[in-house]
Structures are given as C-alpha cells and as structure tokens.
Structure 1
Amino acid sequence: MVTLPLLSLGAMAKQTTSTAFDKQVVEHFVAEMEAKHQFSRNTLETLFAKVERKQSILDAMSRPAEKTKTWGEYREIFLTNKRIKGGVEFWQKNQQALTRAEQQYGIPAEIIVAIIGVETFYGRQSGRFRVMDALSTLGFEHPKRGPFFRKELVNFLLMSREQGIDPLALKGSYAGAMGYPQFIPSSFRKFAIDFNNDKKVDIWKNSTDAIGSVANYFKSHGWETGKPVLATAKVSGKSYRQALQPKLEPQKTISQIKSLGWEFATPVVDKTKARAIELTGKQGVEHWVTLPNFYVITRYNHSTLYAMAVYQLGQAIKTERLALNQSNSKG
C-alpha cells in the first residue's frame, strides 16, 4: 500500500462516522481509492475524520445565478486601473519567467499575466476554503454535480500523493480551484509544471511555476503562436445577423462572414475560421470576430465575456507597461 504523507494512523482510523457526511458514501469512496489506486484504507479514514462538511460551499454552488451581465458591466469588473497596474507590477517582478514561457511555449506574456489577474488578482485572492473540504462537500452532497467533484477529489488525492503534500494544508475556491491560476486537480495533474526546476510543482506560492503551468495549458489546448485573437468589425445590410454564432468554437470562415455584411478593422485571412459576435458595451453595440486563439482562451473558462476580459486586460497591461518603460528610459 502507498500511504499519504499526512497524518499519524491509529486511534482516529475508525472515526469516519464523526464527519457530517453519509458514512456509507465515504466508506464506498475509501474502498474505491484502496482498490483502484492502492491507498491505505486507514490513512484515508483518518483523513476523512478531519474533513468538514461546509454548508456555505453548497449554498455558494446552489445560489441562483445573478442576472446576466452585459459586456459593458462585466468589463468594468476586470478592466480597472488597480488590476492593470497590478498586472504591470506582476510582469515586472516575473519578467524572466514570462519571457522564458513565451519563448518555450509561444504564449504572449500579456495573456498569461491577464489570466492570473482575472483569476486571483495576481495571487492575492486564491481562495479561503480547504480544498479537501470543498471537494468532499460537493462530491458527496451536491445533487447534480456530485460525480464531477468526486472525480476531482480522486485527482486531488492522487495529486497530493504525487507531490508529497498534506491534503488538509491546501486552500482554494469553494469549487476546489487552486493557486495563482485556479487549476482544478485534474488540470493540475495534466498541465501544472515545475518551471523553476526545484523538483516541486507549486502553483500556490511560486509564481514561476504558475506562469509555466498557464503557458503549458494554453499550448496544450492549441494556441497558435503569432496568430491574432480577434478583430473589431463593422456591419451593414440586412443579412449581418445571419453570421452571429452562439457556439464558442469558430464555425464559419472569414470569407463567409464578410459575405453577410461584415468588414474588419484589421486584415484577416479569408479562409480563417472565425466566430461573429455582438456585445453590448458601455458605448453601445459592438461587433467582433473571434478567432481560434480566442477559442483557446475559452477553454480556460467557457465564457465569451471571460475571454474578452482576459484579452482586453492583457492588452491594457501591455500598453501601460510599455508606456512606463518608455517614461523610465527618458528619465
């Protein structure tokens, strides 16, 4: 048997029933982990005796979705002076790692910085719940998404064993997302890397590992180095709405979209797959075509507004940093 590096075994081993979870559900999970992944039953029983059911986590997951925000409202949350300046500071502090990530994986530094900025405000807001509590609560008790979170709990325990980490020591979001980039455990095991070569993968306190891991995630999801992300557009005629597409993945070609009354501010190759969208901004309706790299951003979070916020925050940080560097060079 392989044991977790976490707790002393013994007296607490049979206290599974002291948790607020259904005893049989936990025992079944423990038995599966023992059979499929060679965990010690005693160690897991000891662990689950210390895991807490959190009603606040179930409440957060069950809370009715707030009214759908327009792009203008959503943009105001993330494109703030504070977040832009924070991004410049994060870039300056981590310039070497960002340059290396861009060279090695082909992902622009501003995209990596913006992802971390949107997800956790550059590591400042990475979550206050014990990941073990969050995944156990949702995995054992959430009526609809229980199976998904049980799989993540399996991945979390495997990750903890592989990394030699006490599962009770790690904190994250109420949904079990972790560290600077808010990776769920399955993403950690697939994409997190040791980017500073210290033989550990640390996305909680090590910004270099977080940067490399985000770059690896994007490369693994098909980012095309040097290719554009989107283009602004103008529309005319009565047929332009036929080009609009709800699905995130680009379906039409630029040529097809053009034929329906769309013109683009920057040249885009006609055969490029694209998605035409219409957003309500603060100044009115905006028209865009999103390209394959924009779709890659939505693999991080399946939302058009999220991906647009990441892209525009990245551009704002890049512009602010360039202006600062030019000002410093003149001084």
Structure 2
Amino acid sequence: MYLPPLTTQIPDMLIPFETARRLVKSIASILISTALYTQAAHAQDTTRVNFSEREAAVSMAQRLQEKEGIAIADTLALLKQAELLPRVVQAVKPPKTKGVRNWDTYRSRFVEPIRIRKGMAFWNENLETLKQAEAKYNIPQEVIVAIIGVETIYGEHIGNYRVLDSLATLAFAYPEGQKDRSGFFLSELESFIALCNKTHLDALEVKGSYAGAIGLGQFMPSSWTAYAVDGDADGIVDLFHSRKDAIFSVANFLKVHGWESGKATRVLVDIEHADNLAELLAPDIVPTFTAAAMQQKGLKLNGETLPDEKLALIELVRGEGESAYVVGGQNFFVVTRYNRSSFYANAVLELSEALKLRRDMLN
C-alpha cells in the first residue's frame, strides 16, 4: 500500500501527518467496501452450476465430436466454466403485468436523432464498402446501415454478456411458464462452440447480447456460420472489428432470405374504407394479397408496388384500441427473418428511409 510522506501537499495547503493518515485510512476503507460490494453484486448475478453434468450437454458433446471432431472431454470442460446468469433468466421471462406493446414507444428507441446522426457518419466512413455490397447483393445501402444502427448503434452496444454463459443459461435453465425455447438455445450453444473451434474466437472471452447475439450486426452463432462472409478478403470473418465483413454479411443474410430488388419494402396505407380488416390482417406479416386485391377490399395504397407482387397488411398497435397500419411487401418480410417482429422490420425500414432522405438532402 502507498504510504504518504509526513506532510501531503495540496495547492497552498499542508495537511498534518495524522490528518493525512486518517484520510488515507478512510479512502482505503471506501475502496475495500466498494470491492466487496462489487464482488457481492457479481455473486448475485452469477450462479455456479455444472452444466456439463446435464444429459443434454453430454449428448451435445457427443454430436460435436461426431460432426466437428471436438473431443467430448473438451466440450464438457468448457461447459464446466459456464455460469448461470439470473439476469438472463429474468430477461426472457414475460412481464408480471401484461401490457399492450406500443409502436410509438418502440419506434422512439430506434428512429431517433442519435441513430440518424451516427448512421450518416457510418455511411460516409464506409461508403465504398456499402457501394460494393449493394452492387454484389442488390441490397440498398440505407437498409444495411439501418440494421447495424438498430442492432448496435454502429458497434457501440455489442453486448456485455459472456456468450457462453448466456447460451448455457438459456439452453439448460430456460424459465418455466412460457413457450420452451431451450432447444433453440441448445442448438445455438452447439453452433457457438463449433464456431469458436473453427475460428479465432475464444469461447471464454466472446461477449454479446443476453440472448447470445454477437458482432456489429448481432448474428446468432448459427447465422454467423451460415451467412457471415469475409468481405475484406483477409482470410478471417470478423464481425466484431471488420466493418466490411459486417456490412457484407448483413447484405448476404438479406439476399439469401429472399430480398428482391424492385419489390416493395413498406407502403403507407389508408384503411378508412376497408371492408374486412380481420381478413386482411389474418396472414400477419406473410405477403398474401396483390395490390389490386387490397384495393378491392377498400384499402388505399399510397406508394408504388409491382402488379403481381404479394403484400401484407401490418398492424402496429399503439395501445388499447389504437393502431397504425402499413403494407409490407416481400422485402418487409425478409427483414423479419433478421428479427421476427413487425415492429422491428418497420423500425429498420423507417430508419433507412430517414437516412436516405437526409443523405439525398445533403448531396
């Protein structure tokens, strides 16, 4: 421990030795208390559970040995180091008081000045890469920029959860009382271990969202394996540090999932004279009706669509008994493959429109 001199000088003042000693003692006490509090908080936030003893873990280890050549003992040794995260369990639980999702509240989190300003900067800094991605995959630059903005604010919020812990928690300790998705997370945990075995990623160090999504574009491990590409051609796919890899990978994901150049993303609509709203809303986000069929049912579309393309009427609930509506085309549906939510897709596409409008005004 640092020992102060007999007198400690502060501008224009000398502190006597005894006063300085008491001051140092007080500071040391505060530091110790802070350290103990931090340790206690960490202890409350993590629980030691030997996931390697679970039957599903052993079966997964056997599959990884058969498919990836990873020794069973290595997988089980890794799972012994995983921690159960109560925060993650709480995060996937439904709220105690069930409320109505509110589109306006959701929108305000993503279509807002910070993401627009940072999105413009990201677009300018990566213009050539975005042009290359658009040329190769036929995905509009603004849509790529918007997805990375919604997901991580251009890399600012990639996530602070150790992915091994998050995925193990959701695979082996998924909360009861709701639809069980533990199988999905077990599959993602398996993909994550295989991914780390094939790449430069350290399974004990990688951090991401509470659900295990990683990198600038928040790919789940299986999506990294299936859709991530080496955009900068350096021999390594790095969705954390290579913006080119991230941009190309987002574009590739959308292309593989069926993005079609020239088809509608979202179209504003007037429903005032709709004949049967329930029938139009029944398919949810799945494109089902042509523009002509929608118009025959009383909808007025305020945007361009192709005559033969299928569309869906999307309801964006604003609260009890109040909603906004938009028509989504094939490309709206494709964005929901990234995150299966109409709120998410509409937020991404509104942000992309705001970014493009700002860029067009400046150029």
Give TM-score, length-normalised by structure 2: 0.79
Report the CA distance shift for 1:21/1:79 in structure 2 as closer, same or farther (over 3 A): same
SS in 2 for 1:277: strand
Q: Match of 1:262?
A: 299
Q: Match of 2:310?
A: 273
Larger Rg: 2
Matched, 1:169 2:205: yes
Cα deviation for residue 286 of structure 1 reads 3.8
In 1, are the aligned partners of 2:146 and 2:351 still within 8 Å (CA)? yes
**CA distance in structure 1 between the aligned counterparts of 2:144 and 2:325, rounded to whole angstroms:** 25
Matched, 1:178 2:214: yes
Q: Match for 1:291 among 325, 329, 333?
A: 329
Cα deviation for residue 321 of structure 1 reads 2.4
In 2, are the aligned partners of 1:180 and 1:210 still within 8 Å (CA)? yes
SS in 2 for 1:289: strand
Q: Match of 2:51?
A: 21
What percent of counterpart residues are identical? 36
Q: How does 1:1-331 map to 2 (within 5 A)?
A: 19-21=49-51, 23-25=53-55, 26-64=57-95, 67-142=99-174, 143=176, 144-237=180-273, 239-241=275-277, 242-279=279-316, 286-324=324-362, 326=363
CA deviation profile, 1:251-276 (whole Å, cap 9, x unmatched): 11111111011122224333221112
Q: Which has the higher contact order (CA 8 A, sep 6+)?
A: 1
**CA RMSD for the aligned pairs?**
2.1
SS in 2 for 1:231: strand
Question: Where does the alignment leave 5 or more consecutive residues of structure 1 unmatched?
Answer: 1-17, 327-331
In 1, are the aligned partners of 2:287 and 2:333 still within 8 Å (CA)? yes
CA deviation profile, 1:21-55 (whole Å, cap 9, x unmatched): 36243444333433443212332233223222222
Give TM-score, length-normalised by structure 1: 0.86
In 1, are the aligned partners of 2:52 and 2:77 still within 8 Å (CA)? no
SS in 2 for 1:226: coil
In 1, are the aligned partners of 2:284 and 2:314 still within 8 Å (CA)? no
Report the CA distance shift for 1:279/1:134 in structure 2 as closer, same or farther (over 3 A): closer
**CA distance in structure 2 between the aligned counterparts of 1:225 and 1:179, rounded to whole angstroms:** 26
Question: Where does the alignment leave 5 or more consecutive residues of structure 2 unmatched?
Answer: 1-47
SS in 2 for 1:152: helix
Q: Which letter maps to 2:267?
A: A
In 2, are the aligned partners of 1:19 and 1:48 still within 8 Å (CA)? no
SS in 1 for 2:106: helix
CA deviation profile, 1:76-112 (whole Å, cap 9, x unmatched): 1111111110110111111111110000000001000
- Higher mean Cα deviation, 296-305 or 140-149? 140-149
